[in-house]
Structure 1
Amino acid sequence: MKASIHRPTRIEVDLSAISHNLQQVKSHLPSKTQVFAVVKANAYGHGSSVVARSLLEEVDGFCVSNVDEALELRQAGVTKDILVLGVVPVGALDLALAENIIVTVASREWLEIVDKDLLKGLRLHIKVDTGMGRIGFRDSRLINEVLADLRLHKAQVEGIFTHFATADQVDETQFQTQLAAFKQILTELDDIPSLVHASNSATSIWHADTVFNMVRLGNVLYGLNPSGRALSLPYTIRPALSLVSELVQTKQLEIGATIGYGATYTSSGEEYIGTVPIGYADGLIRRMQDFHVLVDGHICPIVGRVSMDQITIRMPKPYPLGTRVTLIGQEGSATISAQDWADYLGTINYEVACLLSDRIPRFYR
């Protein structure tokens, strides 16, 4: 999707906030811990290529979801290590080999259909499923067999990792069970790869004493609390993303006027209504009706249904065309956060950030 650069709706990303957040987490980790920045899903909506380039001197590598995201970083000039966390189709292994991209091995079945000639020199990490139930090996015997096979074919097995399902929750029962399972598997391996990692953002924040020798930092880099509001952060992080637009029309409606598809809103008196060019095609989904935005520091409710490209808001007074509208960020003393959106929608801040579409141009400072 082409970014709509001639529309006033825009995302503003503070790269210094991302760097600040990274340093906050790193300062609480063992000094020799390798740090990989997770920039999958367009860096959680922040712009993967720009974010990755801004962190080149501060991290040891990057994590992405798939090989296309890795190739995008390579094409943007990112030369540091890139680990693909998901399963790479065997037909794309030649690209991974050519571009020095690290691939995850998650099953014996995948390995059985790989052209063994492609394994020579291929950089790999082994994924262990300790309780997520998605991808990964579940017993050490099979891992040992796979490791032997990979080394026989001259593959470079550099890491082994797992992923915790509940590191961002108050109840640590599941987390401790997974941690114990991962440690047990490591003790049963004939040869442990040099990089061992199990810590995402939540684990690195609230279980820093359990990290191995590498962490994968995602959500926290962008100034988002991985737990939502369940756990308090032990140090200060700064939101990196703001979402803003402008008024493109204002009008005064009489009492009893209806607004939007389905005529779901009727004015209760003479009301000042502003139109803002953003809608569900941009990630402001229809269920955001009755939420609010900020204009001149005032909370202004979204009235009427969210359209594909526009919303209407009720304002305390008329404002001129071009007046700034803040949808995520600070305006005066008032703030709207991605977590506020998540609370209203009954979801998580990760989803809010990732839903912001590529139609919204990103600007960096």
Structure 2
Amino acid sequence: MAISYHRPTKIVVDLQAIQQNLKNELAHNQGKDIFVAVKANGYGHGAVAVSKAALEVGVTGLCVATIDEAIELRENGIDAPILCLGIIDISVIPLAITYDIAVPVATLDWLHAANEMLTTTPLKLHIAVDTGMGRIGFLTVEEVKEAALFIEQAPAMTWEGIFTHFSTADQEEDMYWQKQNQRFKEILEHLPRLPHYVHVSNSATSLWHDDLGNMVRFGIAMYGLNPSGTAMTASYPLQPALSLVSQLVQVKKVPKGEGIGYGKTYETSEMEWIGTVPIGYADGYLRKMQGFHVLVEGEFCEIVGRVCMDQLMIRLPKPVATGTRVTLIGKDKDKEITLQEVADYLDTIHYEVICSFSERIPREYN
């Protein structure tokens, strides 16, 4: 998809806000290594720029979801440790070695097959333990012990880490979190030794729980967003880093009784000023946003009619000049539209909202 530089719609990312969130996290978790999650194009913020900004303030490494995401970072001059959190096919192992990317192991079958492919350069491995997420990882102490012993005895494998992932760390009721934590603790106690990295903390665990690890996988909170939505208050202030802005490309006076948008789902109840904004569901600003609002000159303006693939229409309180800024997420004068408000309107989470913004929208950094 081509990036649309020649239209006024853009995502503006405040790298200083990201760095301040990280400084707060580094102070909150002194003595632990911080790996920041930049998967999914840095949660929509731009993986390369975010990674470089994060490394400037002293984080240890980076987490991605796929080998291709890791390769993008390497090819942009980033030489910090990278952990791929997704299972890779054994055919991809040579790339992991070439680009010095640590990868997870979750089954003994994968481990044996991988060993058959290796030569001399060690493959860095993190043992994944499924303590109750049901996603990836070994389920039993016996499997983990067998995997650890195998890696220790394989000359071309390095046991770099062991980890699990909590499914309810962002909820106030912590009974299931405690259950998962205890399972992981029991597995660690049965191992003859521990690897360099022991990690269980995502953003939510880091903010609200004491854990067993010496490394944090810091994700959504780095971008200034509360992992729990509005359920719990963060341990320290989080500064949102992303704004979504555009401009009015046409403003017109529409008579009473006229339909706006596909399906005529909105009809003017009187003479109305209608503005058109060049953003739509192909950009990840979803069709369901009809009825929500944007900010123009510090005033909330309703989105009227269905959001189109590339454009949407808003009802203005008065005639406004074309080229006037439109804020879809962010601040305008004394008003603000937050990602959480957009997520609530769509009945989803802010993670999904930011990850849905397409590559067509250019990212600008300040």
TM over 0.5: yes
Counterpart of 2:181, as a letter, is L
1:101 matched to 2:101? The reply is yes
Which whole-Å CA distance do the structure 2 matches of 1:34 and 1:292 have between them? 41
Give 1:150 deviation, angstroms: 1.7
Give 1:115 deviation, angstroms: 4.6
Counterpart of 2:75, as a letter, is Q
Which whole-Å CA distance do the structure 1 matches of 2:234 and 2:135 have between them? 28
Counterpart of 2:170, as a letter, is D
Q: Residue by residue, what CA displacement relative to the aligned partner does 1:75-118 show, whole Å, maximum 9, x if unpaired?
A: 01110000000101111100110111101111112223325242
Q: Residue by residue, what CA displacement relative to the aligned partner does 1:108-153 show, whole Å, maximum 9, x if unpaired?
A: 1222332524275111111000000010001111111112222222
User: Aligned with 1:244: secondary structure?
Assistant: strand
Which whole-Å CA distance do the structure 2 matches of 1:268 and 1:108 have between them? 66
Alpha carbons 1:296, 1:324 under 8 Å: kept = yes
Which whole-Å CA distance do the structure 2 matches of 1:331 and 1:125 have between them? 45
Alpha carbons 2:9, 2:279 under 8 Å: kept = yes
Alpha carbons 1:203, 1:211 under 8 Å: kept = no
Alpha carbons 1:116, 1:153 under 8 Å: kept = no
Counterpart of 2:45, as a letter, is H
Counterpart of 2:83, as a letter, is L
Alpha carbons 1:288, 1:302 under 8 Å: kept = yes
Counterpart of 2:81, as a letter, is D
Alpha carbons 1:128, 1:182 under 8 Å: kept = yes
User: Aligned with 1:269: secondary structure?
Assistant: coil
Which whole-Å CA distance do the structure 2 matches of 1:126 and 1:78 have between them? 24
* Match in the other structure for 1:214: 215
1:1-365 map, 5 Å? 1-29=1-29, 31-57=30-56, 58-118=58-118, 120=120, 121-154=122-155, 155-207=157-209, 209-365=210-366
Which region of structure 1 is more displaced relative to structure 2, 211-220 or 105-114? 105-114
Give 1:355 deviation, angstroms: 0.5
Alpha carbons 1:250, 1:273 under 8 Å: kept = yes
Alpha carbons 2:185, 2:212 under 8 Å: kept = no
Counterpart of 1:159, as a letter, is G
Which whole-Å CA distance do the structure 2 matches of 1:260 and 1:305 have between them? 5
Q: Give the direction of change, closer, same or farther, for the CA distance of 1:189–1:306 in structure 2 (3 Å limit).
A: same
Which whole-Å CA distance do the structure 1 matches of 2:188 and 2:194 have between them? 7
Which whole-Å CA distance do the structure 1 matches of 2:117 and 2:192 have between them? 24
**Considering only aligned residues, what root-mean-square deviation do their CA atoms show, in Å?**
1.0
Give 1:235 deviation, angstroms: 1.5
Which whole-Å CA distance do the structure 1 matches of 2:2 and 2:189 have between them? 50
Alpha carbons 2:260, 2:304 under 8 Å: kept = yes
User: Aligned with 2:358: secondary structure?
Assistant: coil
Alpha carbons 1:4, 1:361 under 8 Å: kept = yes
Identity of aligned residues (%): 52
Q: Give the direction of change, closer, same or farther, for the CA distance of 1:22–1:211 in structure 2 (3 Å limit).
A: farther
Alpha carbons 1:204, 1:211 under 8 Å: kept = no
Which region of structure 1 is more displaced relative to structure 2, 137-146 or 36-45? 137-146
Which region of structure 1 is more displaced relative to structure 2, 108-117 or 307-316? 108-117
Runs of 4+ in 1 over 6 A off after TM superposition: none
Which whole-Å CA distance do the structure 1 matches of 2:38 and 2:118 have between them? 26
Which whole-Å CA distance do the structure 2 matches of 1:338 and 1:116 have between them? 47
User: Aligned with 2:221: secondary structure?
Assistant: helix
Q: Residue by residue, what CA displacement relative to the aligned partner does 1:293-338 show, whole Å, maximum 9, x if unpaired?
A: 0000000000000000000000100111100000000001110011
Counterpart of 1:133, as a letter, is G
User: Aligned with 1:137: secondary structure?
Assistant: coil
User: Aligned with 1:56: secondary structure?
Assistant: helix
TM-score computed with the length of structure 1 as normaliser? 0.98
Q: Gaps (5+ residues) in structure 2?
A: none
Q: Gaps (5+ residues) in structure 1?
A: none
User: Aligned with 2:340: secondary structure?
Assistant: helix
Aligned length: 363
Which whole-Å CA distance do the structure 2 matches of 1:229 and 1:205 have between them? 14
Alpha carbons 1:119, 1:153 under 8 Å: kept = no
